[in-house]
Structure 1
Amino acid sequence: MRTSQKFFSANDDAAPVDMLAALFEARGWPFEALSREEISVEIQGSWAKYQLRAIWRSDDNVLQLLCLPDVRVAKDKLTPAYELLAKVNEQLWLGHFDIWSKGGVLVYRNAALLGDEGLLSLDRAQAIVETAVEECDRFYPAFQFVLWGDKTPADALDSALVDAAGEA
C-alpha cells in the first residue's frame, strides 16, 4: 500500500492519479500507484470485492476507469453471457460492460474526458468511482444467475433488477 501524502479540498483540482490516490487514502482503501498514469485499488462492493484501475492518457486528457468484479466467463457460457451483456449495456447511461477476449474476464469500463488542463476534481473523482462500483453491484447478480444459476439472460436481468417493495 502506498499513501498519497497529498490532501485536497472540495474546491481543488489535481492530476487525476493524485486526486484518486487522495480519495482512496481518505476512504481507507489500500491502493497501489503503478505509475504516474495508473493506479489500482480493491474496493468491497455489496456482492464482492472489485479491482478498480484508473489509467490516465495525458495525450487525450482521458481518464479510463476499469472495474473488475472477479467474474470469469467459461467458454461454454460465452453465448448467454454476451446476450446478457447486450441487455445490461442497454440499461447503462455511463460506461459499459465487456468480456475481455483473453481470460474471459468481465469488466466495467468508463472514460472521463477531462478539460484542457487535464485536472480532476474531488467531486468528479468520487462520482466516477461510485458509478463504477454501483453498476457492478447492480448487475453482479445477473451475471451470477447466468453463469452459475443457469437462468436465461432475460430471466437473470429481471431477477437482478427487482426492486424491493414495502417495508421489512
Structure 2
Amino acid sequence: MRAVEDYANDDDAAPLDMLAALFEARGWPCSVRGHEVSGEVRGSWAKYQVKGIWRADDRVLQILCLPEVRVPDDKLGAAYELLGTINEQLWLGHFDIWSNGGVLLYRNATMLGDDGTLGLSQAQALVEIAVEECDRFYPAFQFVLWGGKSPADALEAAMVDPAGEA
C-alpha cells in the first residue's frame, strides 16, 4: 500500500487504497477486506466506526459512520421522528437506523468519475463530513434515547451553540 504523501502527487487513486492510506496517515486503525475499508475514528463525543464500501460496477463509494448507538424498540418512534428532522437539515448524506439490530448510522454515497478514482482532498472531506455530522447530532440522539426528551426538545438542546470563551 502506498503512503498518503504518494497520492498527494498523483491526486487520484483507487477509492479503498486512498481511504486506507488516509486512515494510516492519521493514525486511525483500519483494515481492508474485499470491497470495504473499515477504521475507527475518535470524534468529539465517541469513537466512530467509519467504513468505505466500493461498488466498482457503478463507481459508487459509500461512506458509513456508526456512532455505536443502538436504538431500543421502545424508542424507535421518537428516534425516527428525530431522524426525519435531522435529515431535513443535511445537504450531504443522511442518518438511518438499520432494521437489523437498531444500529444508528450516517450514510453518504458518492459517484466517482469514469476512471473510478478518489482524490486525497475528496477522501478527507468525505470522512470529515461523516464524523462532523455524527458529532453534531450525537447529543440529540442521547437526549432522546437516554434523557427522555422529545425529539424537538432534544434537537433544540443539542444545537445550542456556545458563546464566548472559557
Aligned residue for 2:16, secondary structure, equals helix
Cα distance, 1:72–1:10 mapped onto 2, change above 3 Å: farther
RMSD across aligned positions (CA) = 1.0
Change (3 A) 1:149 1:10: farther
**What CA distance in whole angstroms lies between the structure 2 residues aligned with 1:162 and 1:75?**
28
Equivalent residue, structure 1, for 2:13: 14
Q: In 2 relative to 1, CA 95–10 (structure 1 residues): closer, same or farther, beyond 3 Å?
A: farther
| Structure 1 unmatched ranges of 5 or more | none
Percent identity of equivalent pairs? 70
Q: What's the TM-score once normalised by structure 1's chain length?
A: 0.95
Question: What pairs up with 1:1-168 in 2 under 5 angstroms?
Answer: 4-6=1-3, 7-9=6-8, 11-35=10-34, 37-168=35-166
Cα 1:50–1:150 change in 2 (3 A) is same
Aligned AA for 1:156? Answer: A
TM superposition shift of 1:165: 1.5
Q: Which runs of 5+ in 2 are unaligned?
A: none
Letter in 2 for 1:33: V
Q: 1:90 to 1:113 in 2, by over 3 A?
A: same
Q: CA deviation at 1:11?
A: 4.7
The one-character-per-residue Cα deviations of 1:111-144 (angstroms, maximum 9, x if unpaired) are: 1110010000000000000000000000000000
More helix per residue:
2
Q: TM-score, normalised on structure 2?
A: 0.96
1:8 alignment partner, SS class: helix
